[in-house]
């Protein structure tokens, strides 16, 4: 009858499957608002896969996109706890409905000899743009879903990759649904 629980502080391990969720938040563009959100995730042991934030067309508001993973219960707690933050105006779990998500990557690759042409071809296939060229390198801009960016990295020779920088996902709902005040 007893589930094996080590201490009253240990919640029973839920076997519910952790799913990836993308949460969009409108919050007051105030100093400290970001640290409140980040602090909440670390204090309560939630995962953050990525977090992006920037002011919106209304400078008093910031729009944040958080990619996280968790069971339904955990995601419910995350959204409730986020809503409790005084600076959070509105939020939506984009993954509940059709949505678009995009991430930007800048990647610097070795482009010498016969690889130089190959790199150019790869960038074209993935609809990347070459932003900067030197005699030995290309810097490529690539936009897409996280998995597309992953796929591009996979397609390259590891040794050719000099540097990557990714923004993390931004998301928006499809169709008429909007997140605004």
Partner 1 sequence: MDSGTNGTKLVAPELTGAEIVIRCLEAEGVEYVFGYPGGAVLFIYDELFKQDKVKHVLVRHEQGATHAADAYSRASDKVGVCLVTSGPGVTNAVTGIATAYMDSIPMVVISGQVPTHAIGLDAFQECDTVGITRPCVKHNFLVKDVRDVAATIKKAFHIARTGRPGPVVVDIPKDVTTARCRFEYPESIAMRSYNPTVKGHPGQIKKAAQLILDAKRPMVYTGGGVILSDASVQLKRLVKMLGYPCTNTLMGLGGYPATDPQFLGMLGMHGTYQANMAMQHCDVLLAIGARFDDRVIGNPAHFGSVPRKIVHVDIDPSSISKRVKVDVPIVGNVREVLDELVKLLDGQTGKIDQRALKAWWAQIDLWRAKDCLRYDRAAMIIKPQFVIEKLYEATGGDAIVTSDVGQHQMWAAQFYKFDKPRRWINSGGLGTMGFGLPAAMGAQFANPGATVACVTGEASFMMCMQELSTCKQYRLPIKIVNLNNRYMGMVRQWQQFFHGNRYSESYMDALPDFVKLAESFGHVGMRIEKPTDVEPALREALKRKDDLVFLDFITDQAENVYPMVPGGKGISEMILAEDL
Burial of 60 (0-12, 13-18, 19+ CB in 10 A): exposed
| φ, ψ dihedrals at 11, nearest 5° | -75, 145
| φ, ψ dihedrals at 53, nearest 5° | -155, 140
Q: How far is the CB of 3 from partner 1 (least distance, A)?
A: 4
Residue with Cβ nearer partner 1 (11 or 165): 11
**Residues, the chain:** 181
Q: How far is the CB of 25 from partner 1 (least distance, A)?
A: 11
d(CA 150, CA 124): 16
Burial of 121 (0-12, 13-18, 19+ CB in 10 A): exposed
Q: How far is the CB of 21 from partner 1 (least distance, A)?
A: 17
Contact 131, 141 (CB under 8 A): yes
Q: How far is the CB of 31 from partner 1 (least distance, A)?
A: 8
Residue with Cβ nearer partner 1 (31 or 175): 31
Residue with Cβ nearer partner 1 (67 or 75): 75
List CB contacts of 175: < 8 A, sequence separation 6 or more: 98
Q: How far is the CB of 28 from partner 1 (least distance, A)?
A: 6
State the residues that interact with partner 1 by CB under 8 A: 1-3, 5-12, 27-28, 31-32, 35-36, 39, 43, 73, 76-77, 80-81, 83-84, 86-89, 181
Residue with Cβ nearer partner 1 (2 or 134): 2
Radius of gyration of the chain (CA): 20
Residue with Cβ nearer partner 1 (8 or 113): 8
């Amino acid at each position: 009858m007893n589930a094996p629980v080590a201490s009253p502080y240990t919640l029973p391990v839920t076997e519910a499957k952790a799913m990836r969720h993308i949460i969009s938040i409108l919050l007051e563009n105030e100093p400290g608002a970001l640290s409140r959100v980040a602090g909440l995730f670390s204090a309560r042991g939630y995962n953050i896969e990525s977090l992006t934030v920037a002011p919106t067309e209304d400078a008093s508001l910031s729009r944040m996109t958080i990619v996280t993973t968790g069971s339904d219960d955990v995601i419910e707690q995350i959204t409730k706890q986020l809503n409790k933050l005084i600076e959070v105006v509105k939020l939506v779990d984009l993954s509940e409905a059709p949505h678009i998500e995009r991430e930007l990557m800048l990647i610097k690759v070795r482009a010498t000899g016969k690889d130089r042409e190959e790199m150019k071809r790869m960038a074209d296939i993935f609809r990347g743009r070459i932003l900067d060229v030197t005699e030995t390198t290309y810097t490529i801009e690539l936009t897409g879903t996280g998995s597309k960016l992953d796929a591009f990295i996979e397609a390259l020779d590891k040794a050719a990759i000099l540097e990557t920088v990714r923004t993390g996902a931004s998301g928006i709902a499809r169709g008429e649904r909007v997140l605004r005040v």
